[in-house]
A and B are shown apart, each in its own frame.
Chain A
Amino acid sequence: MSFFTDAMVRVRAMFLRETEERELDDEVRFHLERDAEERVRRGVAPEDARREAALALGGMESQKEQVRDARGTRPLEELASDIRYALRGLRRNPGFTLTGILVLGVGIGATSTVYSIVHSVVLADLPYPEPERLVRVVEKNSPTNIWALSTADVVSIRERQRVFAEWGESTRREVALSGTGTPSRIVVSPASSGYFRAIGIAVAKGRAIQPSDETAEAPAVAVVTDAFARRVLGSADAALGRVLTLDGVSHTVVGVLPPGRDELGGVRSEVWPALKLQPIVRRGPFWLRGLGRLKPGVSLETATADLARVSAEILPMWPDFRDSTAKLTPVPLREVIVGRSVKQVGLFAGGVALVLLLAIVNVATLVLVRASAREQELAVRLMLGAKRGRVARLLVTENLILTLTAAMLGLGLAFVGLDLAVAQLQSMPRIQDAALDWRVIALGIGAAVVSGILVSLSPIAALQGNTNLASHATGRRTDTSNRTSRMRAAFVVAEFALAWPLLVASGLLLSSFVRLQRVDPGFDPRGLVSIGVNLPSIRYPNDTTVFQFRARALQRLAAIPGVVSVGLADDVPPDPNHGNFDNFNLVHKPVPDGQAEPAVPWYYVDPTYFETLGIRIVDGRGYRSGNTADTLPMVIVSESWAKQFTPGESPVGRQLVQGGCYDCPRTTIIGVVEDIRNLGPALPMVAAYGSLVNNGTRSVEILARARAVTPSLLQTMRNELRALDPELPLVETVIADKVDASMADPMRWAAVLTAFAACGMGLAALGVFGLMAYTVRQRRRELGVRLALGAAPSSVTRLVVSRGMKYALIGSGIGLVMTLLFVNRIQTMLFGVSPIDPATFLAVAFMLAGSAFLASWIPGRRAARIRPMEAIGAD
């Protein structure tokens, strides 16, 4: 035979496979029938004749396979035929197929999304050369009390350290940007030349900051990001030499960072001016982030010891700073950047892993139930000579097709879901880099393959253990499949166990969230608006000009119709990132020598601030304005402050040393005000309020309380301030929005976990429903007999429901123990609720029991409606 005809037959065989397969079926069947007829003619009973004929044929399946072998296309065909067969099987049972794909698809989708986030936020290397050598240096006097470095600290480190190959500092500042279109307020990060060398990232254009840029008399220069150069200056090439006016000071752009580089050392900033340090007059204030690159081979321990030595050496040099427990401490940069989010991401990942597990267990249950329904079909195939291995491979192929389709769906969902998730979780570091890369795709497909094989194991095991094939083949159902039914029960138990931690965690977060929302901010945010300004020192060179602007601004805003009251502050509540914590020491109750002075958030306000926010003065007095303005150092404290630091007495009239400045005049406490949630709903309300009257800070928030916040009111306020200074960038805040925003993070966590928990409970319920429905179908005959013998239909329902509940209860027992073991880990994310909150646990128990009841009651009712005669006759 020529190669050509051979090829033609092969190709035809491939394409016409289905027809040929059917023809082969027909041909073999015809043979079988004729043979049986012949035997009947010879006097064999018809039923035996068929069986003999089948035996004589030597196994129909292997027969067909030998014929297929003869066609010579076998290696190519077998896979194709498996796939075709599997597709046919899946099509025949669309309910099963769709449920399986959806359940697993959602599971894989959620897992891929979360893994993308986990990878980018937690696992990925920091994007710098040899990132493990980078450390942030902080001041630390207890595991939780960590703060930034002072000028005195960094100068000492520069002079005395022996462990860093490179060392630099940066800080962060909000400035007014002008000279490039509309004035705006941007965040800049002044950094030293050492910072660039330590991080090890070269600029793409121009040059980095150099030591010569850091002297007082050097012209002001800045490095900008590629994104900023394109957005504001046209292009990276056009940026060099351009002048940016930052708070009125002209900065020449000398360098542009490589594209995509929008943060350095965990500091996200578009403009990096050269850091210029002022002469040191005292140990504080603490405002700089130190970054060191360890010399090769230097361990963190060595660095810690070296910096402790530096701390000890410089302590005696500054009598204003007496905290001998405060040590300069290196912290791996990775920990600084990633550390905060590990717990949240961990919870997130744990939740999604549970959902994926549940989905896999659920699909496994489905597959197993389906496999039991197909026991007969599989048994016939085996009896007709199909090899066990081949039947097993068919099952695996079928399940792999199912799970791989689910993976495609899941990855599609992840593709959409990731954008949504990233948009929701902007507060996480490095989340912008989250993307569906090959790892995630591999993970999704890997999860599909693993789950495809996992869910096939149980029916294959059942197949292996099944020796009583003949009875299956003849369609008589025997309960030999004890093993599979036990496996199914175990799956359902596992589902309930897995649902527990999900439900408890989401219950606790939800109840925290509800409690957070009920927290009284301490003031009425409705009608409150604030406009932030930052007066450039060029046009407002001294306190007089600053005070003049403030007074005029207040005057103009107060005159707007609809505005009830106006005031000033350096920050508006709620602000969890309030940066100004100042230490103090009460003169009449000083802290013991060598111990750290307490530090509290320190706000600066004007005399009308409390009135504008609606905060009452409960002791002493507020600040005065006009001719009787207070000029001596004074402070007003919150009720919580008084309770904590002067318990049992009035703090009014007491004095304190502020900021460790023992040479400065003492600060007098003149009043106590009601607590408000300055830092947001979950944080303490200890606060100190200094006076803005003699504080010429250029950056203030101008607050106004109006009867209603309307766009036209905002426009009028803007116009009034523009009339004072047209070049001033204005940043508006509607305080009610800010209060809402402070709830956003807890709400997101609660929402995400609740979604997971809902999936979990739904899957568990689906699992028990599927199992009980199957049990009812399988035990139809037995239940029918019971009913025929006079059992009440309700007792049949009860039988089914109690069986379902039994699984749910065993699962819940295991789940409860599992949950109790791990629940403490989410304590820090909770507010006002204990991690072993009995109400939450009870609610979870009831919800799961309820869903199990409902899920088994539906098949239970169906069981009660079985018509005995039909059921018994059916077999």
Chain B
Amino acid sequence: MNRDAMELLQGTLDVLILRTLAWQPMHGYAVSRWIRERTEGTIEIEDAPLYKALHRLERAGCVSAEWGVSENNRRARYYRLTATGRRRLREEESAWRRYAAAVFRVLEPA
């Protein structure tokens, strides 16, 4: 495991997954790899919470899942963002931006 990897803040995982899936439908392993590469290894998602979150989002109707064929011709489960998911992403995204801006405002010297 990457020593520089940060603990994921509570409630961050869902929005990261939704954002990742907004690019294109992916299987779980790809989601995990994409986030790792995108954050240059700063955020490394543990697998168990990842699948837990995927299934939770599926249950909430934010993503839909179907079996497809992976890039090396194996059966894999692809998750796709639904309309509900997009709406949720927009809400969470704006909430996060406002939140992050607020945090930065506090942190930056006056």
Contacts and interface: CB of A to CB of B under 8 A. Distances in A.
Contacts of B28: 27, 31
Q: Determine which residue in B28, B51, B56, B74 has the highest number of CB atoms from chain A within 10 A of its CB, and name it.
A: B51
Tier of interface size on chain B: 20 to 34
Interface in A54-78: 56-58, 62-63, 66-67, 69-72
B29 A58 contact: no
A74 to B, nearest CB: 12
B97 interface: no
Interface in B35-91: 46-49, 51-53, 55-56, 59-61, 67, 70, 72, 74-77
B77 A23 contact: yes
Interface in A803-853: none
Contact of A66 (B48, B60, B61, B70): B48
Contacts of A35: 29
Interface string A1-38: 10001100100000000000001001110110111011
A30 B47 contact: no
Contacts of A6: 59
B59 A1 contact: yes
A28 B51 contact: yes
B27 interface: yes
A71 B33 CA distance: 24
Q: Determine which residue in B47, B61, B74 has the highest number of CB atoms from chain A within 10 A of its CB, and name it.
A: B47
A71 B29 contact: no
Contacts of B48: 57-58, 62-63, 66-67
A63 B55 contact: no
B52 A30 contact: no
Nearest to A58: B48
B59 A70 contact: yes
Given A26-B75, A30-B75, A31-B28, A69 B47 contact: no
Given A58-B48, A66-B48, A70-B52, A30 B27 contact: yes
A67 B55 contact: yes
Nearest to A28: B51
A33 B72 CA distance: 11
Contact of B77 (A30, A33, A63): A30
A67 B56 CA distance: 8
Contact of B55 (A30, A31, A34, A70): A70
Contact of B29 (A1, A23, A31, A63): A31
A63 B49 CA distance: 8
Contacts of A72: 59
A56 B32 CA distance: 12
A27 B77 CA distance: 6
Q: Is the interface of A mostly helix, strand, loop or mixed?
A: helix
Nearest to B46: A58
Nearest to B28: A31
A57 B45 CA distance: 11
Contacts of A38: 33
A70 B77 contact: no
A67 B27 CA distance: 15
B51 A30 contact: no
A26 B61 contact: no
Nearest to B74: A30
A33 B28 CA distance: 12
A33 B47 contact: no
B76 to A, nearest CB: 5
Contact of B47 (A9, A63, A70): A63
A586 B53 CA distance: 107
Contacts of A30: 27, 29, 70, 74-77
B74 A27 contact: no
Contact of B61 (A5, A23, A56, A67): A5
B59 A63 contact: no
Given A33-B74, A35-B29, A58-B46, A27 B51 contact: yes
A56 B59 contact: no
A766 to B, nearest CB: 46
Nearest to B55: A70
Contacts of B76: 27, 30
B52 A57 contact: no
B49 to A, nearest CB: 8
A172 to B, nearest CB: 80
Contacts of A27: 27-28, 51, 76-77
Nearest to A34: B29
A28 B70 CA distance: 14
Q: Determine which residue in A6, A9, A27, A63 has the highest number of CB atoms from chain B within 10 A of its CB, and name it.
A: A27
A62 to B, nearest CB: 7
Given A30-B77, A58-B48, A71 B55 contact: yes
Contact of B59 (A9, A31, A37, A66): A9
Contacts of A31: 28-29, 47, 51
Nearest to A20: B55
Contacts of B77: 23, 26-27, 30
A9 B58 CA distance: 10
A36 B82 CA distance: 31
B83 to A, nearest CB: 14
Interface in A169-195: none
A71 B60 CA distance: 10
A643 B46 CA distance: 101
A30 B74 CA distance: 8
A30 B78 CA distance: 12
A55 to B, nearest CB: 10
Contacts of A9: 59
Contacts of B61: 1, 5
B47 to A, nearest CB: 5
Contacts of B49: 66
Given A26-B75, A27-B28, A31-B29, A57 B59 contact: no
A63 B70 CA distance: 22
B51 A67 contact: yes
A57 B55 CA distance: 16
Q: Determine which residue in A31, A33, A35, A57 has the highest number of CB atoms from chain B within 10 A of its CB, and name it.
A: A31
Contacts of A57: 47-48
A34 B28 CA distance: 11
Nearest to A23: B77
A56 B48 CA distance: 10
Contacts of A67: 48, 51-52, 55
B51 A63 contact: yes
Contacts of B59: 1, 6, 9, 70-72
Contacts of A71: 55, 59
B84 to A, nearest CB: 9
A528 B37 CA distance: 108
Interface in B7-34: 27-29, 33
Nearest to B60: A1
B56 to A, nearest CB: 5
Nearest to A35: B29
Nearest to B52: A70
A121 to B, nearest CB: 62
B73 to A, nearest CB: 12
B1 to A, nearest CB: 8
Contact of A69 (B52, B72, B74): B52
Q: Determine which residue in A26, A38, A66, A67 has the highest number of CB atoms from chain B within 10 A of its CB, and name it.
A: A67
A646 B53 CA distance: 105
18 contacts: A6-B59, A27-B28, A27-B76, A27-B77, A31-B28, A31-B47, A34-B29, A35-B29, A58-B48, A62-B48, A63-B51, A67-B48, A67-B55, A69-B52, A70-B51, A70-B56, A71-B55, A72-B59
List the 6 closest pairs (A to B, CB-CB), nearest first: A70-B55, A70-B52, A34-B29, A70-B56, A63-B48, A31-B29
Interface of A: 1, 5-6, 9, 23, 26-28, 30-31, 33-35, 37-38, 56-58, 62-63, 66-67, 69-72
Given A1-B60, A23-B67, 19 more contacts: A1-B61, A5-B61, A26-B77, A30-B75, A31-B29, A38-B33, A56-B47, A57-B47, A57-B48, A63-B47, A63-B48, A66-B51, A67-B48, A67-B51, A67-B52, A70-B53, A70-B55, A70-B59, A71-B59
